Amino acid sequence: MAFEVPHKHDISLDGQDMRNQMIENFEAIQQEDKNDDQALSDEVTDRKKGDGNLQGQINKLQERCQKLEQEKATKDDLETVKSELLGRVKSIYMGKDSKAIRDIILDMKEKGEI
């Protein structure tokens, strides 16, 4: 809503009435200016709070990214584990890992598969 002074169209030509009306107009302008200043101050405060919350969210996301970076497995790590597991499977398949074979047979007996 646009601001309008109280005596825009009805200004008296009488000296004292005109003076009083002008004083009312200036007081209204001053009050509107004060209200605008307060609204601007409130908005600045709200934005600062919002910025603080945003910065907090950014910090949390950065911490999560750092944790993920520390916990991630690299391709080389996965290749190493893969080759170790393949080697173990081959040794079991060829009958060279008697402990693992015994454990597998015992598990199958417990499940009633053999």
11's tokens: 């200004």
Contact residues for 88 (Cβ-Cβ < 8 A; gap 6+): 97, 100
Closest among 109, 88, 86, 108 to 98, alpha carbons compared: 88
- The pLDDT > 90 percentage for the chain reads 19
Render pLDDT for 31-54 as a digit per residue (tens, 0 to 9).
Answer: 999 999 999 999 888 888 877 778
User: What is the mean predicted confidence (pLDDT) over 70-78?
Assistant: 82
Mean pLDDT computed over 78-104? 84
- What confidence category does residue 27 fall into, taking pLDDT thresholds of 50, 70 and 90? very high
pLDDT of residue 19: 85
Structure pTM?
0.40
